Amino acid sequence: MNGEIAPPPGPPPPPPPPQPMNDMHDQNPHRVVMHPTFFWGKNAEILFSGWPGTRTGMYVLSLVFIFVVSVLVEMLSYSQLIKSSENNNNLLGGAAETIIHGVRVGLAYMVMLSLMSFNAGIFIAAVAGHCLGFFLFRSRVFRNKSQIFRP
Protein backbone atom coordinates (compact mmCIF):
# COMPACT_ATOMS: atom_id res chain seq x y z
CA MET A 1 0.00 0.00 0.00
CA ASN A 2 1.46 3.33 -1.09
CA GLY A 3 0.46 5.19 2.01
CA GLU A 4 -3.14 5.16 0.98
CA ILE A 5 -5.78 4.41 3.54
CA ALA A 6 -7.98 1.43 2.73
CA PRO A 7 -11.68 2.21 2.49
CA PRO A 8 -13.75 1.05 5.48
CA PRO A 9 -15.39 -2.35 5.07
CA GLY A 10 -18.96 -2.39 3.81
CA PRO A 11 -21.96 -3.03 6.02
CA PRO A 12 -22.37 -6.56 7.34
CA PRO A 13 -24.60 -8.88 5.34
CA PRO A 14 -28.26 -8.90 6.42
CA PRO A 15 -29.31 -11.65 8.87
CA PRO A 16 -31.13 -14.68 7.45
CA PRO A 17 -34.92 -14.52 7.53
CA PRO A 18 -36.44 -15.78 10.79
CA GLN A 19 -37.59 -19.38 10.87
CA PRO A 20 -41.23 -20.02 11.80
CA MET A 21 -41.69 -20.82 15.49
CA ASN A 22 -44.67 -23.05 14.84
CA ASP A 23 -44.42 -26.54 13.32
CA MET A 24 -47.63 -25.85 11.37
CA HIS A 25 -45.60 -23.88 8.80
CA ASP A 26 -43.00 -26.57 8.24
CA GLN A 27 -42.97 -27.64 4.60
CA ASN A 28 -41.34 -31.03 5.24
CA PRO A 29 -44.01 -33.61 4.25
CA HIS A 30 -42.43 -36.37 6.40
CA ARG A 31 -42.53 -34.43 9.64
CA VAL A 32 -45.41 -35.01 12.08
CA VAL A 33 -47.30 -31.78 12.68
CA MET A 34 -48.17 -30.73 16.23
CA HIS A 35 -51.74 -29.43 16.43
CA PRO A 36 -52.78 -26.69 18.87
CA THR A 37 -56.40 -27.96 18.87
CA PHE A 38 -58.08 -31.37 18.95
CA PHE A 39 -57.89 -33.26 15.68
CA TRP A 40 -58.94 -36.64 14.31
CA GLY A 41 -56.40 -38.78 12.57
CA LYS A 42 -53.83 -41.51 12.92
CA ASN A 43 -50.83 -39.34 12.07
CA ALA A 44 -49.85 -38.28 15.56
CA GLU A 45 -46.86 -38.24 17.85
CA ILE A 46 -47.61 -39.56 21.33
CA LEU A 47 -45.13 -39.78 24.22
CA PHE A 48 -42.07 -40.63 22.11
CA SER A 49 -40.58 -39.10 18.98
CA GLY A 50 -41.94 -40.87 15.91
CA TRP A 51 -44.45 -43.02 17.83
CA PRO A 52 -46.94 -44.12 16.60
CA GLY A 53 -45.99 -42.49 13.30
CA THR A 54 -48.22 -42.84 10.27
CA ARG A 55 -49.07 -46.56 10.41
CA THR A 56 -52.63 -47.47 11.38
CA GLY A 57 -51.60 -50.53 13.38
CA MET A 58 -49.25 -48.51 15.55
CA TYR A 59 -51.95 -45.89 16.12
CA VAL A 60 -54.38 -48.61 17.28
CA LEU A 61 -51.64 -49.98 19.55
CA SER A 62 -51.18 -46.51 21.06
CA LEU A 63 -54.93 -46.26 21.71
CA VAL A 64 -54.90 -49.64 23.48
CA PHE A 65 -51.78 -48.68 25.43
CA ILE A 66 -53.28 -45.41 26.71
CA PHE A 67 -56.56 -47.20 27.54
CA VAL A 68 -54.75 -49.87 29.59
CA VAL A 69 -52.53 -47.32 31.36
CA SER A 70 -55.65 -45.31 32.30
CA VAL A 71 -57.29 -48.43 33.75
CA LEU A 72 -54.08 -49.16 35.71
CA VAL A 73 -54.06 -45.62 37.13
CA GLU A 74 -57.59 -46.13 38.45
CA MET A 75 -56.72 -49.58 39.81
CA LEU A 76 -53.73 -48.20 41.71
CA SER A 77 -55.82 -45.26 42.94
CA TYR A 78 -58.64 -47.26 44.48
CA SER A 79 -57.31 -50.74 45.23
CA GLN A 80 -55.81 -51.46 48.59
CA LEU A 81 -52.90 -53.63 47.49
CA ILE A 82 -51.18 -53.56 50.89
CA LYS A 83 -53.33 -55.09 53.59
CA SER A 84 -52.85 -53.51 56.99
CA SER A 85 -52.45 -55.74 60.01
CA GLU A 86 -50.74 -55.40 63.33
CA ASN A 87 -48.12 -58.00 62.38
CA ASN A 88 -46.80 -56.05 59.37
CA ASN A 89 -43.69 -53.93 59.55
CA ASN A 90 -44.79 -50.28 59.22
CA LEU A 91 -41.57 -49.24 57.51
CA LEU A 92 -41.85 -51.90 54.80
CA GLY A 93 -45.56 -51.26 54.35
CA GLY A 94 -44.97 -47.52 54.06
CA ALA A 95 -42.16 -48.07 51.56
CA ALA A 96 -44.38 -50.36 49.46
CA GLU A 97 -47.23 -47.83 49.52
CA THR A 98 -44.80 -45.08 48.48
CA ILE A 99 -43.52 -47.14 45.55
CA ILE A 100 -47.08 -47.91 44.43
CA HIS A 101 -47.95 -44.21 44.71
CA GLY A 102 -44.90 -43.29 42.61
CA VAL A 103 -45.87 -45.78 39.90
CA ARG A 104 -49.45 -44.46 39.90
CA VAL A 105 -48.32 -40.85 39.58
CA GLY A 106 -45.84 -41.76 36.82
CA LEU A 107 -48.53 -43.56 34.85
CA ALA A 108 -50.98 -40.69 35.37
CA TYR A 109 -48.39 -38.23 34.02
CA MET A 110 -47.83 -40.48 30.99
CA VAL A 111 -51.57 -40.33 30.26
CA MET A 112 -51.52 -36.55 30.71
CA LEU A 113 -48.55 -36.18 28.36
CA SER A 114 -50.24 -38.35 25.75
CA LEU A 115 -53.29 -36.08 25.92
CA MET A 116 -51.05 -33.16 25.05
CA SER A 117 -50.86 -34.59 21.53
CA PHE A 118 -54.40 -33.16 21.13
CA ASN A 119 -55.46 -36.32 19.30
CA ALA A 120 -59.18 -36.92 19.85
CA GLY A 121 -58.78 -40.71 19.65
CA ILE A 122 -56.17 -40.66 22.42
CA PHE A 123 -58.44 -38.42 24.49
CA ILE A 124 -61.38 -40.82 24.10
CA ALA A 125 -59.17 -43.84 24.92
CA ALA A 126 -57.87 -42.16 28.09
CA VAL A 127 -61.33 -41.12 29.31
CA ALA A 128 -62.79 -44.55 28.50
CA GLY A 129 -59.92 -46.24 30.38
CA HIS A 130 -60.46 -44.05 33.42
CA CYS A 131 -64.21 -44.73 33.30
CA LEU A 132 -63.76 -48.50 33.05
CA GLY A 133 -61.17 -48.44 35.83
CA PHE A 134 -63.50 -46.46 38.08
CA PHE A 135 -66.36 -48.83 37.28
CA LEU A 136 -64.28 -51.91 38.09
CA PHE A 137 -62.40 -50.69 41.14
CA ARG A 138 -64.47 -47.95 42.78
CA SER A 139 -68.14 -48.11 41.79
CA ARG A 140 -70.65 -49.71 44.08
CA VAL A 141 -71.27 -52.55 41.62
CA PHE A 142 -68.26 -54.56 42.80
CA ARG A 143 -68.08 -53.50 46.47
CA ASN A 144 -69.65 -54.99 49.56
CA LYS A 145 -72.56 -53.06 51.01
CA SER A 146 -70.42 -52.29 54.07
CA GLN A 147 -67.85 -50.52 51.86
CA ILE A 148 -70.34 -48.14 50.22
CA PHE A 149 -69.92 -44.62 51.55
CA ARG A 150 -73.02 -43.22 53.17
CA PRO A 151 -72.93 -39.59 54.33
The full 3-state SS of the chain, as one line of letters, equals: CCCCCCCCCCCCCCCCCCCCCCHHHCCCCCCCCCCCCCECCCCEECCCCCCEECCHHHHHHHHHHHHHHHHHHHHHHHCCCCCCCCCCCHHHHHHHHHHHHHHHHHHHHHHHHHHCCCEHHHHHHHHHHHHHHHHHHCCHHHCCHHHCCCC
Residue 5's pLDDT is 79
Residues of the chain with pLDDT under 70: 1-3, 19-35, 85-88, 145-151
Residue 20's pLDDT is 58
Q: Are 73 and 133 in contact (CB under 8 A)?
A: yes
Gyration radius (Cα) of the chain, Å: 27
Residue 72's pLDDT is 96
Residue 99's pLDDT is 93
Residue 34's pLDDT is 63
Residue 139's pLDDT is 87
> Rounded to whole angstroms, how far apart are CA atoms 65 and 121?
12
Residue 14's pLDDT is 81
Residue 9's pLDDT is 78
